[in-house]
Amino acid sequence: MLTTIEKIIFIALALISAGFTFHGFKTIVDSIRKGRSAPELKNVPMSLVKGAVTVLFQRTIFKARKGLSAIHMGLFFGLITYAFVNLFDVLEGLVPGFDLVYGGKHIPNAPTGLVNAFNLIADVMSMFLLVAIIVFFVRRFIVKDKALTFRENILLNPKVKAGAQNTDSLIVDIFVIMHVIAHVLSQAYRLTDGADPFMPFASFLNSIFGASQTGVHVAWWVSLGWVMFIIPYLSRSKHTHFFMSPINLGLAKQNPRGQLDAPAKVDPGAKFLHDLSWKRVLDSYACVQCNRCQDVCPANFYGRPLSPSALEVNKRYLLKEATFGSHPDLYLLPLTETVISPEAVWSCTTCYACVRVCPVGNEPMADIVDIRRRMLVDGAELDSGVQNALQSLATNGNWMSKGKRLRGRWAKEMEFPVKNATEEPVEHLWFVGDTASFDERVIPNTKMVARLFNQGGLDFGIMYQNESNAGNDVRRVGEEGLFEQLVEQNMEAFGKAQFKQIVTTDPHSFNTLKNEYPQFGGKFEVKHYTVTLLKLFEEGKLTIKNKLSHYKVTFHDPCYLGRYNGGFTAPRKLLELLGVEFVEMPRNCENSFCCGAGGGQIWMGKVAPGERPAENRIKEALSTFGESANAKTQLFVVTCPKDMVMYSDAVKTTGNEGRIEVRDMIQLVAEGVGVDA
């Protein structure tokens, strides 16, 4: 179809475009390779296939924003179709007589059915694409969806602040609209014999514009000219997402969610961009900057200057300027000046919601922990509360500045002996944790757990002063050395003990014992007490005497039991056994909302103003209960000692005493079984 001169021009332009594209992606790959090593991935080809399947079925995107996700799906399949469309357009341009209209009747021996099917799909997909891109265009530029913006107090790359994201989006929006219209017009102009029933959209345009050879040429050049411009451009914009997100999903974290990557031995943690592992660099190329992570971030909700997506966005624009913008000196600026503010670094609760919701497998939380690690090693000034906690953990093995010997004091006050697992063999080694061992508000519940274990005939013991804090939050604060010290202390204690499995009260201890101690040689079977209790019921060793139908109950999934470790069912089954009226909050299970205490936040001396996550959660529970007509007592049930503290406070500070009560699951179980306090 093209004249010889046109063909020469086209091939020359295509080569130039390919050159820029190669340069673009080589630059990207080089910048990724500058990152530090990451834990070795197993069976990469299989993982890549899995990643491709995930992308093909758009599986990860529907975790949030379902409507927009459906539109994204239209865009995705539209663009996949257009990869083929463009291929055939090139053939139509270069191969004489190659023409797909009317079932490809000008091509000798063309598989008419197949060609018609392709034409129909391409034609319909063109309309989908246009609709999808117009929806996204309207969302960003007309409606100006707030979800795409960042709060004032969040550190942003100057280019981003000046609207670089909008420019990128506008260019791609205009490209898609013009490209699709030009392609369909190029087909419409080919319809010399009137409508083609397999090309309704093109036929409609044909009925308006008629057929025209000049039109075919012009439309073809507009359509493919754009492609030759846009492909190299994509490597220089946030739309590297198209290519990098499937790769990122294929290379996503294989270790358990609750296992942080260990820091480097030399210069641990991250001060500069390339102190991060190569996967964290890849993250920013996969990110399309949708801000879903920001939506679910409890620190962001609380008005803190943290946005996980701003972190990725800033990384991306820093990389762009440092590579394509030839400002390599940007690499030499600390991350805390270019990517995330120190205050934001210390706002993260490590709740994992951002990582969980990310459709492309990014882990902004891992960056934050790595930045904390380096800040600690470099002697950055710490929040006084965090410093006190760490110092106490180093000297006393707990963060509450209590003497080691006081850890088992509650057990000595029990009416039956609680075995010392380091002195005699037990079946269940109960790892009690700091809050449950020392906090006067929580100790009555700890004793209740002991009574129920005792009543259920469970052979259990605790390690008394030999137990140290398990180190989950210490590691997440970035104090890897102290974490290792605590692990060593506990491993030494475990070495003295004989037991079959570990049971924990605290989900944080549960997480690190289960997922991180194996890296230090501690391979144990670890259970949360909700699972152990449920088993006692299932084996008939505990029975419900009093049904608790007078309670209306909702349940808060703790991050480290639920989202991290999938412990959703045991607590709910216990509540079912107890016969309470159960209602589920809108944010439950995987999508549970952090209480705000994790990742060292509970140690912070300074409390920022604003509605705290725990307060918001109490309001969510109350609105879930609704204006109840019946006179049932409304309970907010928790299974984490930290939650007990956080939510009891939140009920008071929101002035909801008398409307809702915070109870530990153990209190309900004790009431159901008929064990007195």
Partner 1 sequence: MNIVVAIKHIPSIADDLPVKGNNVDFDSVDFVLNEFDEQSIEQAVLVKESVGGTVTVIGVDLIGELDNVLHLALAKGADKAVKITGDDPSADSHTQAKWLSEAIKGLSPDIVFAGVQASNDLDGQIGPLLAAHLDMPYIGGVSSVGVSGDTATVSKEFAGGVGAKYAVTLPMVVGVQAASKPPRYAPISKVRQIAQTATVEKVAPSGDASSGLTFKKMAPPVAAGHAEMIEGSSKEVAAKIVELLKSKGLA
d(CA 43, CA 45): 6
State the DSSP string of 326-363: --GGGGGS-HHHHT--HHHHTT-----HHHHH-TT---
Q: How many residues belong to the site for partner 1 (CB under 8 A)? A: 25
What strands lie across the sheet with 551-555, from one edge to the other?
Answer: 581-582, 551-555, 633-638, 661-664
3-state helix, strand, coil in the chain (%, to 5): 60, 5, 35
Is the CB of 268 or the CB of 325 nearer to partner 1? 268
Does residue 405 come out as left (phi exceeding 0), alpha (psi in the -120 to 50 range) or beta?
Answer: alpha
Minimum gap (Å) between residue 638 Cβ and partner 1: 28
Q: Which residues pair with 664 in a beta bridge?
A: 638
Interacting positions 353-382 with partner 1 (CB under 8 A): 376-377, 379, 381-382
Minimum gap (Å) between residue 471 Cβ and partner 1: 11
Which residues 6+ apart lie within 8 Å of 473 measured at CB? 350, 508, 598, 599, 600, 602, 603
SS (H, E, C) 121-166: HHHHHHHHHHHHHHHHHHHHHHCCCHHHCCCCCCCCCHHHHCCHHH
Q: Is 404 in the site for partner 1 (CB under 8 A)?
A: yes
Minimum gap (Å) between residue 556 Cβ and partner 1: 32
Using CB under 8 A as the criterion, what x/- string covers residues 228-267 for binding partner 1?
A: ----------------------------------------
Of 69-77, 391-399, 573-581, 589-597, which segment contacts partner 1 by CB under 8 A? 391-399
Q: Is 403 in the site for partner 1 (CB under 8 A)?
A: yes
Which of 89, 168, 467, 480 contacts partner 1 by CB under 8 A? 480
Which of 38, 394, 491, 675 contacts partner 1 by CB under 8 A? 394
Q: Is 171 in the site for partner 1 (CB under 8 A)?
A: no
- In this structure, which amino acid lies at residue 65? R
Which of 481, 524, 579, 611 contacts partner 1 by CB under 8 A? 481
Interacting positions 7-26 with partner 1 (CB under 8 A): none
Q: Is 59 in the site for partner 1 (CB under 8 A)?
A: no
d(CA 518, CA 505): 19
Between strands 428-431 and 460-462, the pairing is: parallel
Of 33-41, 311-319, 473-481, 610-618, which segment contacts partner 1 by CB under 8 A? 473-481
Query: Helices (DSSP H) in 459-568: which residue ranges?
Result: 472-477, 480-496, 507-515, 529-538
Q: In which element (H, E) is residue 609 found? A: none
* Of 181, 10, 19, the residue nearest 93 (C-alpha): 10
Is the CB of 485 or the CB of 591 nearer to partner 1? 485
Let me know if 341 is exposed, middle or buried by CB neighbors in 10 A (0-12, 13-18, 19+): middle
Minimum gap (Å) between residue 484 Cβ and partner 1: 8
d(CA 571, CA 445): 16
Q: Which residues pair with 530 in a beta bridge?
A: none
Of 150-158, 274-282, 386-394, 608-616, which segment contacts partner 1 by CB under 8 A? 386-394
Is the CB of 397 or the CB of 641 nearer to partner 1? 397
Minimum gap (Å) between residue 260 Cβ and partner 1: 15
Of 384-392, 492-500, 578-586, 652-660, which segment contacts partner 1 by CB under 8 A? 384-392
Which of 6, 484, 590, 661 contacts partner 1 by CB under 8 A? 484
Go through 122-151 and write b for each residue having 16 or more CB atoms within 10 A of its CB, e for each that does not.
Answer: bbbbbebbbebbebbbebbeeeeeeebebe
Is the CB of 379 or the CB of 521 nearer to partner 1? 379
Minimum gap (Å) between residue 481 Cβ and partner 1: 3
Which of 191, 202, 365, 482 contacts partner 1 by CB under 8 A? 482
Is the CB of 479 or the CB of 516 nearer to partner 1? 479
Minimum gap (Å) between residue 368 Cβ and partner 1: 17
Which of 168, 196, 439, 479 contacts partner 1 by CB under 8 A? 479
Minimum gap (Å) between residue 478 Cβ and partner 1: 9
Q: In angstroms, what is the C-alpha Rg of the chain?
A: 30
Of 83-91, 143-151, 392-400, 669-677, which segment contacts partner 1 by CB under 8 A? 392-400
Q: Is 626 in the site for partner 1 (CB under 8 A)?
A: no
Eight-state DSSP code of residue 199: -
Which of 341, 485, 498, 633 contacts partner 1 by CB under 8 A? 485
Q: Is 402 in the site for partner 1 (CB under 8 A)?
A: yes
Of 395-403, 542-550, 621-629, 663-671, which segment contacts partner 1 by CB under 8 A? 395-403
CB 291 within 8 A of CB 329: no
Minimum gap (Å) between residue 403 Cβ and partner 1: 3
Q: Is 387 in the site for partner 1 (CB under 8 A)?
A: yes
Which of 43, 167, 401, 549 contacts partner 1 by CB under 8 A? 401
Using CB under 8 A as the criterion, what x/- string covers residues 136-155 for binding partner 1?
A: --------------------
Minimum gap (Å) between residue 408 Cβ and partner 1: 12
Q: Is 395 in the site for partner 1 (CB under 8 A)?
A: yes
d(CA 362, CA 344): 18
State the DSSP string of 610-654: S--HHHHHHHHHHHHH-S-SS-PEEEEEESSHHHHHHHHHHHHHT
Query: Helices (DSSP H) in 361-470: which residue ranges?
Result: 364-377, 384-396, 409-412, 434-438, 443-455
Minimum gap (Å) between residue 552 Cβ and partner 1: 39
Q: Is 390 in the site for partner 1 (CB under 8 A)?
A: yes
Let me know if 527 is exposed, middle or buried by CB neighbors in 10 A (0-12, 13-18, 19+): buried
Which of 396, 490, 648, 654 contacts partner 1 by CB under 8 A? 396
Q: Which long-range contacts (CB under 8 A, 24 or more apart) does 536-545 make?
A: 536/452, 536/453, 536/456, 536/458, 537/574, 537/577, 541/456, 541/457, 541/458, 542/452, 542/455, 542/456, 542/669, 542/673, 543/673, 544/577, 544/578, 544/579, 544/672, 544/673, 545/672, 545/673, 545/674
Using CB under 8 A as the criterion, what x/- string covers residues 260-279 for binding partner 1?
A: --------x-----------
Is the CB of 203 or the CB of 468 nearer to partner 1? 468
Of 95-103, 199-207, 361-369, 404-412, which segment contacts partner 1 by CB under 8 A? 404-412
Which of 37, 192, 213, 384 contacts partner 1 by CB under 8 A? 384
Sites of contact with partner 1 (CB under 8 A):
268, 376-377, 379, 381-382, 384, 387, 390-391, 394-396, 401-406, 479-482, 484-485
